[in-house]
Amino acid sequence: MFNWYVGLLAVSGVVMIAMAMAENRQSNVSRLINGILGPLYLGYALYLAFLFEGGSYLIFFQAFIVPVLLAVDFFRNRTPRQKLTATQKAWREHQRSEQGR
What pLDDT, on a 0 to 100 scale, did the predictor assign at position 7? 93
Lowest mean pLDDT among 2-11, 46-55, 68-77: 68-77
- Overall number of domains in the chain: 1
Q: How far apart are CA 87 and CA 25, in angstroms?
A: 27
What pLDDT, on a 0 to 100 scale, did the predictor assign at position 14? 95
Q: Is pLDDT at 25 greater than 90 in this prediction?
A: no
Predicted TM-score (pTM) of the model is 0.69
Cα–chain-centroid distance for residue 3?
23
Burial of 101 (C-beta count, 10 Å sphere; 0-12/13-18/19+): exposed
Write out the residue range of the structural domain in which residue 81 sits.
2-99
What pLDDT, on a 0 to 100 scale, did the predictor assign at position 63? 82
Of 11, 29, 19, 37, residue with least CA distance to 75: 19
Q: How far apart are CA 10 and CA 58, in angstroms?
A: 16
Q: Is pLDDT at 24 greater than 80 in this prediction?
A: no
Q: Is pLDDT at 101 greater than 80 in this prediction?
A: no
